[in-house]
Amino acid sequence: MDYVTHVFQTVFGWSRQKAEQHMMQVHKQGKSVLIRESFEKAEHYVHQIHRYALNATMERDE
């Protein structure tokens, strides 16, 4: 859990509190909407998270 929190802080520049909130949402619900961005920026973040050996996907915002 600490590792995921650390990755969220590093990739997104979030405070520890915000990173922990998203980590807990992932832990309890299996997913969390981390960020809403353009396709290119979202793709960049997905690749960054993959570099830390974590799973991330993009979905179109309907």
Q: pLDDT per residue over 9-60, tens digit each?
A: 999 999 999 999 999 999 999 999 999 999 999 999 999 999 999 999 999 8
State residue 61's pLDDT score. Answer: 80
Q: Where are the domains of the chain?
A: 2-51
pTM score of the predicted model: 0.90
Contact of 57 with 20, CB cutoff 8 Å = no
What's the rounded Cα separation, in Å, for the pair 41 and 46? 9
Place of tokens 């979905």: 59
